[in-house]
Structure 1
């Protein structure tokens, strides 16, 4: 499977937005969830916190923002299509990945109607998204370098030039380094080290588990 090497935005922190609409209180919580399991864990956590609420509706974009295979949503007892889908529409349209939204509703006894619910659930997430700060998630890969001691300084200079990080090292009769580098720079770094060592350094990709 080919890895998409394009960096994308993820939430830097959790946010909470609360509003009252026709005596119903809507509490929107957004959190960084880098997997479907972590998304479900966050949803369960909010449900426990607000176990007295009538509805805890949710949606998640657990991977890259455009990867619909990592999306999920639930109306949690609200009329079909009035909560989960509007929440998901806001998340998937934000361009931010690895994020889950849970909107808790404490009902005030006044019916909002399907249009009112769609507006309330989608609107709460829209407002919460305005509060969120993001960071860029860089896509990295690992390379294995095997070289003579004479080329270590050259290799380390190249690693520094491409912001590669040494994650493992082994110094025996030869030097073996495992380094982490952005996918976009991997080929360039590989070629550069091979060229500068006169093709005496061996560079290979490390299979990601």
Structure 2
């Protein structure tokens, strides 16, 4: 089960006189990840290396470190900690002692993994969007059942006869909630998975 960060996480470590500062944050798109890196990169640092993963999309950057010694280990740390929709930036100030390729891989991957290990996370639920409509008479009873089926209201609109909800429903619960919805509305409600 993948995890999402619930806030900004940070971690610092000094390895052979080089200072590593890690920042990790939740992102919803590649553009948001790139904005995260731009906002948190430190211009006077020696390297600002990063990686992100959003579903099946990922990207990483070594920022001048030898190829494969920084960005890829950060991405592997993201995968190793089972995180998704996350951007991780590792900022390094060179301390005068060369770490070598193996040392760089361990430093970048290790500090990124430690940051994610310590971060506040929550389990991600695979959701499907559903548009549903019911009349006012059924509204309170239907709404009272959402939490038990891992459904949350994304938007709510009222008209003359009832309510239209946009729901995010746990994929594993959508069929059961659909059947319950039909029963609670006497078959008069509308349920449109999308």
TM-score, normalised relative to structure 2: 0.85
- How many matched pairs? 191
Q: Secondary structure, in 3 states, of the residue corresponding to 2:43?
A: coil
Larger of the two Rg values belongs to structure = 1
Q: Residues of 2 paired with 1:38 and 1:186: CA distance?
A: 29
Q: Residues of 2 paired with 1:33 and 1:198: CA distance?
A: 41
CA contact (8 A) 1:158 1:193 kept: no
**Counterpart in the other structure of 2:101:** 114
Tell me whether 1:58 sits opposite 2:46 in the alignment. no
Deviation of 1:119 after TM superposition, in Å, equals 1.3
**Counterpart in the other structure of 1:3:** none
Tell me whether 1:18 sits opposite 2:5 in the alignment. no
Change (3 A) 1:146 1:115: same
Deviation of 1:115 after TM superposition, in Å, equals 1.2
TM-score, normalised relative to structure 1: 0.79
- The structure 1 residue matched to 2:133, chosen from 119, 140, 145, is 145
CA contact (8 A) 2:133 2:189 kept: yes
Q: Unaligned regions of 5+ residues in structure 2, if any?
A: none
Deviation track 1:44-73 (CA, whole Å, cap 9, x = no partner) reads 1122xx211111111111x23xx2xx1110
Q: Unaligned regions of 5+ residues in structure 1, if any?
A: 1-6
